[in-house]
């Protein structure tokens, strides 16, 4: 499956006093991309949700005020209950990687109890068995 792509522009509100993107905003960019990707499968969730269980992130280079960036996201099944998202934030000009992350999300029901990933979601995102 091709990566999901989300294009963004860096605004003043994203940066610190010297015009560099504040590190926590990369988490927001990645969350937007995962949410955008999963939104298309929302009807198949049947009241279930994905919550972040674990995240490993590497900051490689800074994004700056006015930059055009892209978040690329792919998903793979980690277990019957978890999906691992691989994400990369790139500077559009030159395709320079700025940050990368591995994000484990867990599927839970409306009461917050662990539940299996719906089969329709697995099919929609072509998640291979763990």
Catalytic annotation, residues: 16
Neighbouring residues of 123: CB distance < 8 A, sequence distance ≥ 6:
none
- Closest C-alpha among 38, 31, 6, 32 to residue 127: 38
- CA-nearest of 42, 37, 48 to 117 is 48
């Amino acid at each position: 499956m091709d990566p999901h792509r989300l294009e963004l522009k860096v605004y003043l509100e994203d940066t610190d006093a010297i015009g560099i993107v504040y590190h926590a905003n990369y988490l927001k960019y990645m969350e937007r991309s995962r949410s955008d990707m999963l939104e298309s499968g929302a009807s198949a969730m049947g009241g279930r949700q994905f919550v972040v269980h674990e995240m490993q992130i590497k900051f490689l280079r800074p994004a700056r005020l006015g930059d055009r960036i892209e978040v690329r996201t792919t998903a793979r099944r980690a277990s019957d209950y978890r999906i691992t998202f691989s994400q990369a934030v790139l500077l559009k000009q030159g395709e320079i990687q700025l940050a990368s992350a591995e994000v484990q999300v867990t599927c839970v029901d409306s009461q917050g109890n662990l539940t299996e990933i719906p089969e329709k979601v697995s099919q929609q995102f072509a998640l291979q068995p763990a």
